[in-house]
Amino acid sequence: MIDTEGYRANVGIVITNNKQQILLAKRYQQDSWQLPQGGIDENETELEALFRE
């Protein structure tokens, strides 16, 4: 859902393991990497969006 200023609420997470490595995801059809993240759908909680993403 986009707010009145044109921004969409989103969630992101930093996932690490016991070796202190960080999970990065390759962006679809792009040559770049990012932390897991994504927009929050209407009628969805932040936690629900986090697990979906």
pLDDT in tens, 3-53: 889 889 999 999 999 999 999 999 989 999 999 999 999 999 999 999 998
Let me know if residue 35 belongs to a domain: yes
- What residues make up the domain containing 31? 10-52
pLDDT band at 2 (very low <50, low <70, confident <90, very high): confident
Counting the structural domains of the chain, the total is: 1
The residue ranges of DSSP E strands in the chain, in sequence order, are 10-12, 25-26, 33-34, 37-39
Let me know if residue 24 belongs to a domain: yes
Q: Is 53:38 a contact under the CB 8 Å cutoff? A: yes
Let me know if residue 32 belongs to a domain: yes
Nearest to 9, CA basis, from 52, 39, 32, 42: 39
DSSP code at position 29: T
Assessment of whether the complete model's pTM goes beyond 0.75: no
Let me know if residue 40 belongs to a domain: yes
The alpha carbon of residue 31 and the mean position of all alpha carbons in its chain are separated, in whole angstroms, by: 18
